């Protein structure tokens, strides 16, 4: 007990600040990634050969763009985007400097998650909406997005956890948060207790997010009623 008290007296504030920075970094990046990823995913579904407005060339080009974005390892993208990040937010360090590459890396991933969720929607519902004269926007909003909401929420939890892991990598280049603490104290200074503390915090946060996402998805899912 004395050891734990001494540990928290020395590193408690540091870990609390790192935890908060990681949460902010991840939440903001996830939100912005969905702002970009949802329209991309919808466009991929709408323009595919069986979509509402098939367009082979546009769909192929958009698919290639999404696939290229997903194929670049985050640690490489993180370094490659440093000039762009500085141009956008004025720095490549700390939470602001980590958010830009996190969003760029996660948006293609979100687009594929959204595409998969929308493709799970019953085709009969879409045909019914078309027979009633619904516009493309009405079908996308009231059928695709509304019916796939439980799947989108589950995908959101997975995306959050994925970005959470990426945020730890951002610590290797001064991205802040728990990853930065783990690198500076746990790795560079050989303080294993700090390293273990960051790992435990990360595990707890991931479990909370996954549990909350699963809970809300089940509550919204009509099939569970």
Mean per-residue pLDDT for 17-21?
88
Determine the length of the chain: 225
pLDDT in tens, 20-35: 888 888 999 999 999 9
Cα 211 to Cα 30, 84, 214: the distances in Å are 17, 36, 5
Mean per-residue pLDDT for 197-204?
88
- Contact 202/189 with Cβ under 8 angstroms? no
Report how far apart the first and last C-alpha atoms of the chain are (Å, whole number): 48
Q: What is the pLDDT of residue 36?
A: 93
Which residue is listed with tokens 């939890």?
A: 157
Cα 85 to Cα 57, 81, 97, 150: the distances in Å are 31, 6, 6, 34
Mean per-residue pLDDT for 195-202?
87
Split at pLDDT 50, 70, 90, the class of 174 is low
pLDDT in tens, 138-164: 888 888 888 888 888 888 888 988 888
How far is residue 174's CA from residue 186's CA, in Å, rounded to a whole number? 14
> DSSP letter at 189?
S
How far is residue 100's CA from residue 145's CA, in Å, rounded to a whole number? 26
Give me the percent of the chain exceeding a pLDDT of 70.
96
Mean per-residue pLDDT for 120-146?
83
Averaged pLDDT score across all residues of the chain = 84
How far is residue 175's CA from residue 136's CA, in Å, rounded to a whole number? 41
175 or 96, greater pLDDT: 96
Complete domains list, the chain, with CATH: 2-224 (1.10.3720.10)
């Amino acid at each position: 007990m004395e050891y734990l008290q001494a540990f928290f007296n020395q590193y408690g504030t540091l870990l609390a600040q790192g935890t908060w920075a990681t949460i902010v970094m991840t939440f903001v990046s996830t939100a912005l990634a969905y702002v970009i990823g949802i329209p991309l995913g919808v466009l991929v579904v709408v323009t595919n050969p069986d979509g509402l407005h098939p367009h082979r060339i546009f769909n192929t080009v958009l698919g290639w763009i999404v696939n290229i974005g997903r194929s670049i390892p985050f640690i490489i993208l993180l370094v490659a985007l440093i000039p762009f990040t500085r141009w956008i937010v004025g720095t490549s360090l700390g939470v602001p400097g980590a958010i830009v590459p996190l969003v760029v890396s996660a948006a293609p991933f979100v687009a594929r998650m959204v595409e998969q969720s929308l493709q799970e929607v019953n085709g009969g519902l879409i045909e019914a909406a078309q027979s009633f004269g619904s516009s493309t926007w009405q079908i996308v909003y009231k059928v695709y997005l509304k019916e796939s909401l439980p799947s989108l929420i589950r995908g959101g939890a997975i995306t959050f956890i994925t970005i959470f892991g990426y945020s730890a990598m951002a610590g290797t280049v001064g991205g802040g948060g728990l990853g930065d603490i783990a690198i500076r104290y746990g790795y560079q200074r050989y303080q294993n207790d700090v390293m273990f503390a960051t790992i435990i915090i990360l595990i707890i946060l991931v479990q909370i997010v996954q549990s909350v996402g699963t809970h809300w998805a089940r509550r919204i899912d009509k099939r569970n009623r």
